[in-house]
Structure 1
Amino acid sequence: MPIPPTMNELLDDLVRRINEGELPPGSQIPSTSELADHYNLSLSTIHRAVATLRKQGILIGRPGRGVFVAENQSR
Structure 2
Amino acid sequence: MDELLEGLLNKIKSGAYPPGSQLPSGRVLADEYDTSQSTISRAVARLRAQGVLVGRPGRGVFVAEPPRR
Correspondence 1:1-75 to 2 at 5 A: 7-72=1-66
Q: TM-score, normalised by structure 1?
A: 0.87
Gaps in structure 2 of 5+ consecutive residues = none
Aligned residues: 67
Q: CA deviation at 1:23?
A: 0.1
How far apart are the structure 2 equivalents of 1:72 and 1:55? 15
Structure 1: distance between partners of 2:55 and 2:45: 9
Which TM-score applies when normalising by structure 2? 0.94
**Identity across the alignment (%):** 63
Q: What is the root-mean-square deviation of aligned Cα atoms in Å?
A: 0.8
1:40-72 deviation line (CA, Å, top 9, x unaligned): 100110000000000000000000000000002
* Structure 1 segments (4+ residues) deviating >4 Å: none
